[in-house]
A and B are shown apart, each in its own frame.
Chain A
């Protein structure tokens, strides 16, 4: 089980991760913040039955579910926000942004978790409730799809 301090410590460290994953799904700052807060509150209530080692994938999975619920309830698919004179964010690498946005969510999320947030494949599998072999398969397909979109051989640091 996870006690309060450990829960809060891990949660604070995870804020940026959860927010980034949320943004990649809902493409809305307000919705992503909503999803993060909902996931944290839900995890807080369940904290005594979460193993510490599984807190990160549990939180991430809960947050992904919250994003999907927000999308479903608000019936909204918002295009990726771009910074303009109204103050909306524009990613510096628009080519990469477009290539990533073109990926189906089930390929994009594992890729972001592994290469963006440094989850190991087992953690990605726990987060998304799929097998490790499925994770490997989706990572492979994601990389291939990116290569096609970027017209370049892709490696991750």
Chain B
């Protein structure tokens, strides 16, 4: 029999290369996410799907029932047409009417002009979009079923278990539930449950306080949220998920939290769910490389200083020891690393000098660990050249935007550059050819 050797490239060429547009779009999304301290409001159908999955972390203790069933039409439109920014004129006007009914937008001259009709489609789309985005205070690509609901009722994590179950049902009915009969937890209505929500919250409170060393008075200031969830088809094994949301320095409570607890209503015990990658508070603390106190200090630092690019070496080494360390006195100094990095980038074939505008230089010192992302086990400098804009509260930039980033890795001892990677107009991604 003849022989045939199949290479990696042969297998890769079975599919078309990843389009640059998609890769850049996804990269930009990831970098916008990484710049955030907290999760953004959901953007599209894909966000809606992820948000439902996130319900295992998010619980609501909201006392106000959600009675917005008339907005289910938004989910129906998303299910049939896709995200709002692709909707034609008629559907956008329909959304304006719905938001008017809900009181999210007010009847003003612009709304009157839109509802009077008679405008060309293009102008209708533009006017309707302005009305919706200004009324909600978000970008066009953020407008969706869940973001509308959150604008009206607050973060989904704070809703009641019944409201979350209703929301999940609406998504499912409109084909917006990414994982349906698979092995992911989904909220269900807490009916005939052996343990009440309040009882579950008490057990969860004690577990979080003990594991994380919370003073009870401090934890009491957190907002408890609840969800009763089960894997589809295994409703008899449903569990309470209680999450405690930290106070937000800007007011209210944060939309996301790591302080979740899974409580089995039948055994009344705090449990883990390895298949869902859910651990008990004690297990999570046991896996941390910093103490619970340091964890809360780190959260406070994110609140005051923002992204860790803006922290000192000492702060990064203290609160993120798995990734950063204090610069070694035996290695090359920081300014030498920065000079070498800039020179390497300027001489790189992918570098586009005329697009290198607005970049800041962030030297990071890393201990060097063998992981999927590091390329050495020896200490190294990672000089980050990044062009990012912080959130400014405008409709165009509510969360901050990263336009490009170039990472230069240098051996801490020799100063030799061993890796350069990046993206953006100043450092375009290479062609996908083999």
Find the B residue at minimum CB distance from A116: B11
Could you say which residues of chain A place their CB within 8 Å of the CB of B18? 15-16, 19
Q: Are B50 and A45 in contact (CB under 8 A)?
A: yes
Q: Does the CB pair B180–A42 fall under 8 Å?
A: no
Q: Tell me, in angstroms, the Cα distance from A118 to B57 when the chains sit together.
A: 32
A4 to B180, CA, bound (A): 27
Instruction: A153 to B284: give the CA distance in the assembly, Å.
Output: 49
- Chain A residue with Cβ nearest B9: A157
In the complex, A97 Cα to B19 Cα: how many Å?
Answer: 20
Contact of A77 with B by CB under 8 A: no
Given the known interface contacts A19-B15, A96-B14, the answer about A12 and B27 at a Cβ–Cβ threshold of 8 Å is yes
Q: B372 contacts A42, CB within 8 Å?
A: no
Name the contact of A153 in the complex, choosing from B2, B19, B278 (C-beta under 8 A).
B2
Q: Which residues of A contact B34 (CB under 8 A)?
A: 4-5, 7-8
With most chain B CB atoms within 10 A of its CB, the pick from A1, A13, A16, A42 is A42
Q: Which residues of A, 36-56, contact B by the 8 Å Cβ criterion?
A: 36-38, 40-42, 44-46, 48-53, 55-56
What residues of chain A lie closer than 8 Å to B178, measured between beta carbons?
Answer: 38, 42, 66, 69
Asked if A100 lies at the interface with its beta carbon under 8 angstroms from chain B, I say: yes
| A-B interface pairs (CB < 8 A), number | 167
* Residue pair A53, B371 in contact (C-beta under 8 Å): yes
A130 at the binding interface (Cβ < 8 Å): no
Does B392 reach chain A (CB closer than 8 Å)? no
Q: How far is the CA of A55 from the CA of B17 in the complex (A)?
A: 23
| Given A3-B320, A38-B178, A45-B51, residue A115 in contact with residue B46 (CB < 8 A) | no
Residue interface mask A1-42, B partner, CB < 8 A = 1: 101111111111101100110011000010001101110111
Q: Establish whether residues A38 and B258, one from each chain, have CB atoms under 8 Å apart when the complex forms.
A: no
Contact assessment for B53 and A45 in the assembled complex, using a CB-CB cutoff below 8 Å: yes
CB of A38 within 8 A of CB of B5, answer no
CB distance from A6 to the nearest CB of B (A): 6
Q: How far is the CA of A19 from the CA of B180 in the complex (A)?
A: 22
Q: Which of A12, A16, A38 contacts B49 (CB 8 A)?
A: A38
- Does A89 reach chain B (CB closer than 8 Å)? yes
* Inter-subunit contact A23/B16 (CB<8 Å): yes
Q: Which residues of B contact A102 (CB under 8 A)?
A: none
Distance in angstroms between the alpha carbons of A56 and B307 in the assembled complex: 24
Q: Which residues of B contact A48 (CB under 8 A)?
A: 258
| Distance in angstroms between the alpha carbons of A1 and B56 in the assembled complex | 16
Instruction: Decide: A49 near B10, CB < 8 A? Known: A3-B323, A23-B16, A58-B277.
Output: no
Which of A19, A69, A152 is in CB contact (< 8 Å) with B182?
Answer: A69
Do B10 and A96 touch (CB < 8 A)? yes
A66 to B274, CA, bound (A): 20
The chain B residue sitting closest to A21, CB to CB, is: B15
The answer to whether B4 touches A152, judged by C-beta atoms less than 8 angstroms apart, is: yes
Q: Is the CB of B50 within 8 A of A12?
A: no
Which residues of chain A are near B39, meaning CB under 8 Å?
44-45
- Inter-subunit contact A38/B50 (CB<8 Å): yes
Nearest to A65 among chain B residues (CB) is: B182
Contact between chains at A12 and B30 (CB < 8 Å)? yes
Q: How far is the CB of B273 from chain A (nearest CB, A)?
A: 10
The reply to whether B14 and A91 form a contact with Cβ atoms under 8 Å apart is: yes
Q: How far is the CB of A126 from chain B (nearest CB, A)?
A: 12
Cβ of A67 to closest chain B Cβ, rounded Å: 11
* Residues in B neighbouring A7, C-beta threshold 8 A: 30, 34
CA distance A48 to B4 in the complex (A): 44
CA of A92 to CA of B6 in the docked complex: distance in angstroms?
A: 13
Q: Is the CB of B277 within 8 A of A24?
A: no
B33 at the interface (CB under 8 A from A): yes
Q: Which residues does chain A contribute within 8 Å of B175, judged by CB atoms? A: 73
Contact of B372 among A5, A55, A89 (CB under 8 A): A55
With both beta carbons as reference points, the residue of chain B lying nearest to A23 in the complex is identified as: B15
Interface assignment of B221: CB less than 8 Å from any CB of chain A: no
A12 to chain B, nearest CB (A): 6
CA separation between A99 and B16, bound complex, in Å?
17
Complex alpha-carbon distance, A34 and B49, angstroms = 11
- Are A5 and B182 within 8 A (Cβ)? no
CA distance A89 to B371 in the complex (A): 35
Q: How far is the CA of A81 from the CA of B14 in the complex (A)?
A: 10
B17-40 CB contact bits vs A (8 Å, 1 = yes)?
111001100110111011010010
Which residues, 47 to 87 on B, are CB-close (under 8 Å) to A?
Answer: 47, 49-51, 53-54, 56-57
Residue numbers of B with Cβ under 8 A of A are 1-8, 10-19, 22-23, 26-27, 29-31, 33-34, 36, 39, 46-47, 49-51, 53-54, 56-57, 175, 178-180, 182, 258, 277-279, 284, 287-288, 308, 320, 323, 371-373, 423, 432
